[in-house]
Amino acid sequence: MTEYVTSADGTRIAFDREGSGPPVILIGGAMQFRAFDPATVEMAHLLAGHGFTVVNYDRRGRGESPADAPITLAQTIDDLRALTDDLTEGADDAVALFGNSSGGSIALAAAAAGLPVSKLVFFEIPLDDEGGSEGAEYLAGLREYIAARDHDGAVEYYMRDMPREWLDGAKQSPAWATMVDIAPSLEPDAESLAWTQSAPRAELWRRITAPTLALVGEETLPIMTSAAASVVASMPNAQAGTVPAADHRWEPRTLALAIAEFLVGEPPADQRPTE
């Protein structure tokens, strides 16, 4: 059953809660929300089965969390804070965050802003080179499309650096109309990626001491492996890992197990070898 929290500005954020145990919030990437992303819904169910309270939510401007543009990274972090407050009871309680793709850079920004985080797990954050200007230029261009209400143009622009066949396939699929409809919600994705180039990463992430795992697929784009290496180089408690995945997509059972193993520090009980 859908639950709701109210963010700092009064926006209602919709989410599903499943399981019991240490809390984990799943942060979707560019085009993800519950009704549009069955793979994450399945992964949330499987992860809950490993002994966690898992929250899968509709980011602001998507699904059952409607919001008007502009949608900012600061608002998105406020939404995560509202979810965290709902999941925790005391000031010392913390949540684990899983960020998929640009959801990973949002998770980093939230942790750097002081959200109480126990552990961080990412899958393929598409970070450009540290200290570059690509992210800021990209964000400015996306904002122009959104301000002009050119939502088709905004989604095409957002996907411009992805393999061309990804954009062509999206435009030819029934999913395109939904992608266009949520175009304004892409701004925090681009803003969080731009933020990762706004200062030396060791400085940006100096407050993040939570154990961190940066995952990539066995078959992936070069930017993803270099991004994972940058996370490891810039954070004191970060490590990289690989999961069976290709084309920026993962299999729910495999990913749920990888996340669970990292969060508990050992294989879940139902996956340990028997004697």
Any domain includes 138? no
Judging by DSSP bridges, how do beta strands 212-219 and 238-246 pair with one another?
parallel
pLDDT at 163: 84
Asked if residue 97 has pLDDT above 90, the reply is yes
Please determine, for residue 216, whether its predicted confidence score (pLDDT) is greater than 60: yes
Task: From residue 225, give the alpha-carbon distance in Å to each of 24, 144, 259.
Answer: 25, 30, 18
Residue 29 placed within a domain: yes
Report the percent of the chain where pLDDT is more than 70: 95
CA angle 115, 18, 29 (to 5 degrees): 55
- Angle among Cα 54, 115, 260 to the nearest 5 degrees reads 30
Q: What is the mean pLDDT of the chain?
A: 93
Overall average pLDDT of the 256-262 stretch: 97
Q: Over the range 96-109, which residues count as b (16 or more CB within 10 Å of their CB) and which as e?
A: bbbbbbbbbbbbbb
pLDDT over threshold 90, residue 65: yes
Q: What is the pLDDT of residue 90?
A: 57
**Rounded alpha-carbon distances, angstroms, from residue 73 to 40, 45, 113, 220:** 22, 27, 11, 27
In the DSSP assignment, the letter for residue 274 is P
Distance CA 123, CA 145 (A): 28
pLDDT band at 266 (very low <50, low <70, confident <90, very high): low
pLDDT at 269 over 50: no
pLDDT score recorded for residue 147: 97
Quick one: pLDDT at residue 247? 86
Which residues constitute the domain of residue 105? 3-127+200-271
End-to-end Cα separation, the chain, in angstroms = 40
CATH of the domain at 212: 3.40.50.1820
pLDDT band with cut points at 50, 70 and 90 for residue 81: very high
Query: Does 166 reside within a domain?
Result: no
CB-based contact 211:111 (threshold 8 Å): no
Q: What is the pLDDT of residue 26?
A: 98
| Total tally of structural domains belonging to the chain | 1
**pLDDT beyond 80 at 3:** yes
Q: Once rounded to an integer, what is the mean pLDDT over residues 4-29?
A: 97
Instruction: Kindly give the pairing relationship between strand 117-123 and strand 53-57.
Output: unpaired
153 within a domain of the structure (yes/no):
no
* Among 245, 219, 230, residue whose Cα is nearest residue 100: 245
Position 58 pLDDT exceeds 60:
yes
Mean pLDDT of 77-87: 96
Measured distance CA(12)–CA(15) in Å, rounded: 10
Strand order of the sheet with strand 238-246? Answer: 3-6, 12-18, 53-57, 23-27, 95-100, 117-123, 212-219, 238-246, 249-250
Is 222 inside any structural domain? yes
Domain-located, residue 15: yes
CB 125 within 8 A of CB 231: yes
Residue 267 has pLDDT above 60, yes or no: no
pLDDT score of 268 more than 50: no
Q: Does 148 map to a domain? A: no
Residue 274 has pLDDT above 50, yes or no: no
- Res. 273: pLDDT tops 50: no
Rounded to whole angstroms, the Cα distance separating 155 from 31 reads 10
CA distance 158 to 155: 5
Q: What is the pLDDT of residue 92?
A: 60
Q: For 120-163, write each residue's pLDDT tens digit.
A: 999 999 999 999 999 999 999 999 999 999 999 999 999 998 88
pLDDT of residue 10: 98
Can you list the alpha helix ranges (DSSP code H) found in 88-200? Answer: 102-112, 134-147, 151-158, 164-171, 176-181, 187-195
Residue 195 covered by a domain: no
pLDDT of amino acid 270: 40
